[in-house]
Amino acid sequence: MALQEEMEQQGNWLFKHRSYLPLIFLAVGMVLYLQSELYPASILEQAPYEFYYDMFALLIGLTGVYIRVITVGYAQQNTSGRNTKQGQVADTVNTTGMYSIVRHPLYVGNFLMWAAVALLTGNFWFIIAFILLYWVYYERIMFAEEQYLRKKFGEEYLSWSDKVPAFIPAFHLYTKSNLSFNWKKVLKSEKNGLFALFLIFCVFNVSGELIKGRTDYNYLFIVMCVLTGIFYIIIKYIKKRTTLLNESNG
């Protein structure tokens, strides 16, 4: 099998399992975080530096959530979804909004959200390893996705991709979307992102305090975890039991 076909095959497999494989990264990060809590080796483990560091990491993660929300909210229907079982799906090429400055804005958002978790560990080498592994991991997914779009849309896709960078945004290229912001699509597909972020931060913080025999919790993480969890349950119920989030095809 040629390298091109092999990378595309790997990318399609990783695309379908991209929701589960990062859990390995999360487990390793948790172990390193608890280890750093038991055996602090940096100034970041001393208050108030640790608090500000955690807030900085949270800001990075929230930026990732924001990028995903803006991207999905202004994307065409049947694009920019969380589909995994059926593989790649795209009815058109998105070229405006976030897609006018970077070809894979959702993966930029994912990177920032997972980078926030990597930063939480306070382990320099784990952060570096995360960046390298993320690049190898998503490079194949992006390659497979672009192969799919190139085959389906041909010159239309090539013309856009020639001008727009793959991962590092070129803000000067920004073109405003002529679509209205689609809150229904955002609520359906991104309802778990914010909750997952605060849940991870909450679990890390509470576990770190408990393992040290302390109760100096970051209550912002706990309160936001509860609130976003309730919001997630409500949206999930509305999506499953009602038609409020259904979109017209017109």
Task: State the CATH number of the domain containing residue 131.
Answer: 1.20.120
Count Cβ atoms within 10 A of the Cβ of residue 197 and give its class: 0-12 exposed, 13-18 middle, 19 or more buried: buried
Whether 24 maps to a domain, the answer reads yes
- At 43 the pLDDT is 47
Closest to 57 measured CA to CA, from 74, 34, 75, 33: 33
Whether 245 maps to a domain, the answer reads no
pTM of the model: 0.86
Whether 242 maps to a domain, the answer reads no
- In angstroms, rounded to a whole number, what is the distance separating the alpha carbons of residues 246 and 186? 12
Whether 159 maps to a domain, the answer reads yes
Quote the DSSP letter at residue 87: -
- Which residues form the domain of 22? 3-182
Whether 229 maps to a domain, the answer reads no
**8 A C-beta contact, residue 75 and residue 109:** no
Report the chain's terminal Cα–Cα distance, integer Å. Answer: 44
One-letter amino acid of 72: V
Give CA separation, 187 vs 19, 110, 173, in Å: 18, 17, 28
Whether 108 maps to a domain, the answer reads yes
- In angstroms, rounded to a whole number, what is the distance separating the alpha carbons of residues 193 and 191? 6
Backbone dihedral region of 169: left (phi > 0), alpha (psi from -120 to 50 degrees) or beta? beta
- At 91 the pLDDT is 65
User: Which residues, 6+ apart, have CB-to-CB distance to 190 below 8 Å?
Assistant: 65, 68, 69, 72
Cα radius of gyration rounded to whole Å, the chain: 20
- At 65 the pLDDT is 96
Mean pLDDT per block of 10 residues along the chain (250 residues) reads 66 72 85 81 60 92 96 79 55 86 95 94 89 89 86 88 93 91 90 93 92 88 96 92 75
Domain count, the chain: 1
- At 250 the pLDDT is 44
Whether 16 maps to a domain, the answer reads yes
DSSP for 172-184, please give it: GG-B--SSPP-HH
Whether 233 maps to a domain, the answer reads no
**8 A C-beta contact, residue 186 and residue 245:** no
Q: What is the pLDDT of residues 217-250, one digit of tens each?
A: 999 999 999 999 999 999 999 988 888 888 765 4
